[in-house]
């Protein structure tokens, strides 16, 4: 651990019941100071459990958790949530309906006079752009506005880290993008370190400095968004982050597949059977009478046309094309695959 480390989980395991497999197993993650880290994974993979353990709402069965260099859980050691200096933003915002926004934000500020608490509450409400609505009640706000207040309440006591649990999932799709940008701006301008958990890859990739992909309670890969996308470490990450098709291949002098031979950096022995990952933006095609591929379908998505190309083996590849490139289904094509990185997994 170096002194950039703010939150450290070291081989943490949590099992709710001996009848079920652990919610998280042997999980090791580090959040650096000033960093926004996303934990990404499907429903039930252990995201909320991880946040609850960091916040102190649950106790790990094994492993150690350190906060700002000091142990807060593990080895029989235990610091209660209120002593951890952690701000939490929940999916449902969890604002008190009978309190004004100012009172909601001032609520968690213990050990200060009323004037002082209200001044601090007003200060953070202004930071999140809600200074003009301090006397309103939560039901008088839109979802996005409630989200801002929940963030203000988490920021008010001056935590060392903010944990956000699926914070945008209750917002309409058209608000979500703006709120992501807005929340990121507020966190960055306040120099706040944060862990964001989400099942939405676009959210994780666009907001976070690094993303940890969780599957079934285990960490598959923790890396910068671009690294996850271009060089996924596992088949699960390849599939979950971005879109991917997989073609069977064999290691020879390169990876031999039905769409060509690709440079091999896998280190696998000759003759090894592999799957080659292919992203839709790596697949190009030209109409060609004696081409091997056939256009099997096209889906218009506004900013692009997403083609499905059928190969002689029956396998299909998706291809991302410009929104004005329209070709008919059944057109014979020559398929060209140019991966930015050749990624293979052993079969």
Q: Judge whether 249 and 280 are in contact, CB under 8 Å.
A: no
Among 48, 147, 193, 201, interactor with Mg ion by CB under 5 A: 48
Pick out residues in 43-62 that bind ligand ADP (CB under 6 A): 43-49
Q: How far is the CB of 44 from ligand ADP (least distance, A)?
A: 4
46 binds, options Mg ion, ligand ADP, none, Cβ within 5 to 8 A by partner type: ligand ADP
| Residue of 16, 57, 78, 96 that binds ligand ADP (CB under 6 A) | 16
Nearer to ligand ADP, 45 or 208 (CB): 45
Q: Do 219 and 46 contact (CB within 8 A), yes or no?
A: no
Q: How big is the site for ligand ADP, counted in residues (CB under 6 A)?
A: 11
Quick one: which segment of 41-49, 78-86, 280-288, 323-331 binds ligand ADP (CB under 6 A)? 41-49
Helix residue spans in 156-196 (DSSP H): 173-189
CA distances in angstroms from 153 to 100, 150, 244, listed in the order given: 12, 5, 40
- Three-state secondary-structure class, residue 125: helix
Shortest distance, CB of residue 65 to ligand ADP, whole angstroms? 15
CA distance 73 to 54: 8
Which residue has the closest beta carbon to Mg ion? 48
Q: Segment near Mg ion (CB under 5 A), from 39-47, 65-73, 178-186, 260-268?
A: 39-47
Under a CB-based contact definition with an 8 Å cutoff, are residues 175 and 141 in contact? Answer: no
SS3 assignment, position 154: helix
User: Binding partner of residue 300 among ligand ADP, Mg ion, none, CB under 5 to 8 Å per kind?
Assistant: none
Of these partners, ligand ADP, Mg ion, none, which one is at the site of residue 44 (CB under 5 to 8 Å by kind)? ligand ADP
Q: Distance (Å, rounded) from C-alpha 276 to C-alpha 257?
A: 8
User: What is the Cα–Cα distance from 225 to 211, expressed in whole angstroms?
Assistant: 6
Query: Do residues 173 and 165 make contact, with C-beta atoms less than 8 angstroms apart?
Result: no
Nearest CA-CA partner of 162 in 207, 202, 205, 119? 207
Bridge partners of 307, per DSSP, are 298, 319
Nearer to Mg ion, 47 or 148 (CB): 47
CB of 111 to ligand ADP, least distance (A): 32
Which range, of 2-10, 40-48, 177-185, 306-314, touches Mg ion by CB under 5 A? 40-48
56 touches, from ligand ADP, Mg ion, none (C-beta below 5 to 8 Å by class): none
* Residue closer to ligand ADP, measured from CB, 44 or 346: 44
What is the CA angle 8-41-176, rounded to 5?
100
Minimum separation from the CB atom of position 50 to ligand ADP (A): 7
DSSP 40-67: E--TTSSHHHHHHHHHTSS--SEEEEEE
Take residue 218 and report the two structure tokens written for it: 């285990």
Count residues near Mg ion (CB under 5 A). Answer: 2
With CB under 6 A as the contact rule, which of the stretches 15-23, 115-123, 252-260, 305-313 interacts with ligand ADP?
A: 15-23
Q: How far is the CB of 93 from ligand ADP (least distance, A)?
A: 17
For Mg ion, which is the closer residue by CB, 156 or 195? 195
**Pair type for strands 245-252 and 77-78:** unpaired
Interacting residues toward ligand ADP by CB under 6 A = 16-17, 23, 41, 43-49
């Amino acid at each position: 651990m170096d002194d950039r480390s703010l939150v450290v989980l070291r081989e943490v395991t949590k099992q709710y019941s001996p009848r079920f497999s652990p919610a998280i197993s042997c999980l090791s993650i580090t959040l650096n100071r000033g960093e926004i880290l996303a934990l990404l994974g499907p429903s039930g993979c252990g995201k909320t459990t991880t946040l609850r353990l960091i916040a102190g709402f649950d106790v790990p069965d094994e492993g150690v958790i350190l906060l700002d260099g000091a142990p807060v859980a593990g080895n029989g050691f235990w610091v209660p949530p209120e002593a951890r200096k952690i701000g939490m933003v929940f999916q449902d915002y969890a604002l008190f309906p009978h309190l004004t926004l100012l009172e909601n934000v001032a609520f968690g500020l213990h050990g200060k006079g009323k004037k002082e608490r209200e001044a601090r509450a007003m200060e953070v409400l202004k930071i999140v752009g809600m200074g003009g609505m301090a006397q309103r009640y939560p039901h008088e706000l839109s979802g996005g506005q409630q989200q801002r207040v929940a963030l203000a309440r988490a920021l008010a006591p001056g935590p060392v880290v903010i944990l956000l649990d699926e914070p945008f999932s209750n917002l309409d799709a058209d608000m979500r993008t703006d709120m992501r940008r807005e929340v990121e701006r507020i966190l960055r301008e306040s120099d706040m370190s944060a862990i964001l958990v989400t099942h939405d890859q676009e959210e994780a990739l666009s907001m976070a400095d690094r993303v940890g992909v969780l599957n079934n309670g285990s960490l598959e890969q923790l890396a910068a968004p671009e690294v996850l996308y271009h060089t996924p470490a596992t088949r699960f990450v390849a599939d979950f982050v971005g879109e991917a098709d997989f073609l069977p291949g064999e290691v020879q002098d390169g990876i031999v597949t039905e769409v060509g031979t690709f440079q091999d950096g896998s280190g696998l022995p000759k003759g090894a059977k592999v799957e080659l990952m292919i992203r839709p933006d790596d697949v190009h095609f030209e109409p060609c009478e004696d081409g091997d591929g056939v256009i099997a379908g096209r889906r218009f998505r506004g900013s692009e046309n997403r083609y499905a190309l059928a190969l002689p083996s029956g396998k299909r590849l998706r291809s991302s094309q410009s929104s004005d490139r329209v070709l008919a289904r059944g057109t014979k094509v020559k398929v060209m695959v140019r991966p930015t990185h050749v990624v293979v997994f052993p079969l």
